[in-house]
Amino acid sequence: MEPEEYCQLISSSTPTRTAETIPIASAISRIAADDVIADAPIPAFATSAMDGFAFDESALNSAQTGVEVAVLGDIPAGAMPVDIAPGTAVRVMTGAQVPATAEVVVPVELTDAESTGPAPDRVQVSSLSKGLRAGWNIRAVGEDTLIGDTVIRAGETISSAGVGTLAMMGRETTRVQRPLTIGLIVTGDELRTDSTTCAHPFIHNSNLPMLSSAITNAGAIPVERSCGDDPEALAHIIDELGDCVDLIITTGGISAGAFEVVRQALSGDHSTFLRLAMRPGGPQGYGRRGDVPLLHFPGTPAGAFLSFHLFARSLIEASPLRSRWKKAVYAGPEVLGHDKAISLVPGRFNTAGEVESLNRSRLRDFSGADVIIRAPRGSGSIRGGDVIAVLDC
Ligand SMILES: Nc1nc2c(c(=O)[nH]1)N[C@H]1C(S)=C(S)[C@@H](COP(=O)(O)OP(=O)(O)OC[C@H]3O[C@@H](n4cnc5c(N)ncnc54)[C@H](O)[C@@H]3O)O[C@H]1N2
Ligand code: MOO
């Protein structure tokens, strides 16, 4: 089974999301829970798009014949508009509310006026074409956004432009998805988290800080646990976490050894274990204990890293793996396909915007990578100039 098909199989493990209301200043990188619909037009009143002079229709007619027009005053942005007496002009600044009778705004550069200093008493327009449309340089009510426009869609990640859009509409709070809480259990008697006790035959526990930070980076809240090779102890930790998390990820203990703690604790009643046609990260498992979905990743650090980016992120983002791959142009070197499995290889964008591969798939090779390259299975290979599938990581 290829990873996309497996992702489809585990999609029923996608945790249920609830929503919360938060201040817009905290909404960056959060996922919009609802469509945001404009309840007022933007701009809410007609404004000038230029620094210049607002003319009513008869003043414009005079100005187009070269006649000087009287200027009745100034409307800076943020000031109430001054009415235009028939046949006269007012000086307006970009963003200022224009008088209701304004026909056009003529930019200051097209007049004989200085751009700074007090407003002149009179203004003459140097050159103005005849067929000006009414509303020239005036931003009409709703020109940017109309009442009822969907400005942010449910499921979109709110960017800084999104925060600005919410602020532009006068929103102080917004509804976002509540972050998921994810239990992370790394397994293995050989693991030591405290480096002072990590003498032979123990090893440093890399999966715990790696996946905990990956969970945080994906916008979720990690709850960390470590477990030895005792299946009963693991079942106990899963039950304890089950009350307070939306998803549990385990690493290690799922392949073919004599002390496969995850497999022993869960296979049969709770979880299914299988080998995917992908390298690294082939051994995988999924299941449910009570209401809580379970994902089981291999213990090898590169396998755990890739499993997180392919599968955990698909569930967190509620987006199938098939639609998460992006296209890129490959720059080389040649990567040979494996007959039985797709290969996952670290890739980095070069200065030409194409992807180069590092050709080995150790965890340290992924640490400098921008993307995970998907090299298809089979006897072919990927070469410079090919269009390839990549996943950000
Ligand atoms: N007879 C077979 N043996 C193995 C097979 C197989 O098909 N037949 N598959 C191999 C592949 S591929 C993988 S991947 C691993 C997966 O094994 P597990 O998921 O059971 O993981 P462990 O055996 O517990 O650990 C594997 C490896 O990773 C180290 N490890 C585990 N957790 C951590 C951690 N938190 N931090 C750092 N390193 C960790 C562990 O010490 C092992 O070296 O199975 C192969 N074997
Ligand atoms: O599937 Mo494993 O060692 O290739 O991660």
Which ligand is in closest contact with the Cα of 187?
1
Tell me the pLDDT of the chain (393 aa) as tens digits: 999 999 999 999 899 899 999 999 999 999 999 999 999 999 999 999 999 999 999 999 999 888 999 999 999 999 998 888 999 999 999 999 999 999 999 999 999 999 899 999 999 998 787 778 999 999 999 999 999 999 999 999 999 999 999 999 999 999 999 999 999 999 998 888 888 777 788 888 999 999 999 999 999 999 999 999 999 999 999 999 998 999 999 999 998 878 899 999 998 889 999 999 999 999 999 999 999 999 999 999 999 999 999 999 999 999 999 999 999 999 999 999 899 999 999 999 999 999 999 868 899 999 999 999 999 998 778 999 999 999 999
Return the pLDDT at 190.
87
Atom of ligand 2 nearest to the CA of 298: 5
Q: Is 264 in the pocket of ligand 1 (CB under 6 A)?
A: no
Taking CB atoms within 8 Å and a gap of at least 24, the contacts of 154-158 are: 154/32, 154/33, 154/34, 154/35, 155/31, 155/32, 155/318, 156/31, 156/32, 157/29, 157/30, 157/31, 157/32, 158/27, 158/28, 158/29, 158/30, 158/31, 158/32
Output the CA torsion sign for 365, 211, 310, 305.
positive
Q: What is the pLDDT, as a whole number, of residue 132?
A: 86
Residue at 149: amino acid letter:
D
The terminus-to-terminus CA distance of the chain in angstroms comes to 23
Q: Is 207 in the pocket of ligand 1 (CB under 6 A)?
A: yes
Q: Kindly give the number of the ligand 1 atom that is closest to the alpha carbon of 300.
A: 28
Which pLDDT belongs to residue 51?
A: 97
Q: Quick one: pLDDT at residue 159? A: 97
Q: Is the C-beta atom of 190 inside 6 A of ligand 1?
A: yes
- What is the longest distance spanned by two Cα atoms in the chain? 98
Q: Which residue has the tokens 């007012």?
A: 90
Instruction: Give the C-alpha separation, 48 to 105, whole Å.
Output: 7
The per-residue pLDDT for 127 is 79
CA 237/CA 265 separation, integer angstroms? 11
Ligand 2 pocket by C-beta < 6 Å: which residues? 279-283, 298, 300, 303
Q: Taking the complete model, does pTM exceed 0.90, yes or no?
A: no
What does the alpha-carbon distance between residue 198 and residue 45 come to, in Å, rounded to a whole number?
68
- The residue nearest atom 3 of ligand 2, judged by CA position, is 280
- Please name the residue whose Cα sits nearest to atom 19 of ligand 1: 298
> What pLDDT sits at residue 192?
84
